[in-house]
């Protein structure tokens, strides 16, 4: 089992930047990929970005491509989400997820961190 703790959320104005962090503990050696999802009020949880440790491959949702960057420090078992040019529609609770596989469901989820972008 992998435990995930997110941090770095907050209230910012449109156009600002934030960096989210997700620290993993437990069976981190079994983690093959880590991702960020977000859930806005009244909406489903949506994919934001993923990093696959082997090869460092990254993928992004179209809505954040060019503005957000996912990165990670495998030695520190930490993944980051650098968010630039934030928009009010980026307001959501951001969740970190981890999986032992490169496809399919994520086995571990964090509690989430709130990001609020004011116009």
User: What pLDDT score does 1 carry?
Assistant: 81
Average pLDDT rounded to a whole number, residues 93-116: 95
User: What pLDDT score does 20 carry?
Assistant: 98
| 3 state DSSP class of 41 | coil
User: What pLDDT score does 27 carry?
Assistant: 78
Residue 11 clears pLDDT 90, i.e. is over it: yes
Residue 89 clears pLDDT 90, i.e. is over it: yes
Sign of the dihedral defined by the CA atoms of residues 67, 83, 40, 96, in that order: positive
Q: Residue 47: beta bridge partners?
A: 37
Residue 113 clears pLDDT 90, i.e. is over it: yes
Average pLDDT rounded to a whole number, residues 4-28: 95
Residue 35 clears pLDDT 80, i.e. is over it: yes
23 versus 77: which is more confidently predicted?
23
Contacts 24+ apart (CB under 8 A), 41-44: 43/92
């Amino acid at each position: 089992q992998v435990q995930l703790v997110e941090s770095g959320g907050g209230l910012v104005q449109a156009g600002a930047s934030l960096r989210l962090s997700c620290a993993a503990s437990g069976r981190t050696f079994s983690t093959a990929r880590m991702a960020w999802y977000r859930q806005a009020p009244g909406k489903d949880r949506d994919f934001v970005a993923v990093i696959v440790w082997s090869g460092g491959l990254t993928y992004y949702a179209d809505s954040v491509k060019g503005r957000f960057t996912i990165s990670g420090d495998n030695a520190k078992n930490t993944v980051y989400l650098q968010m630039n040019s934030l928009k009010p529609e980026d307001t959501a609770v951001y969740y970190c997820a981890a999986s032992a596989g490169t496809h399919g469901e994520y086995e571990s989820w964090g509690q989430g961190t709130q990001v609020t972008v004011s116009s």
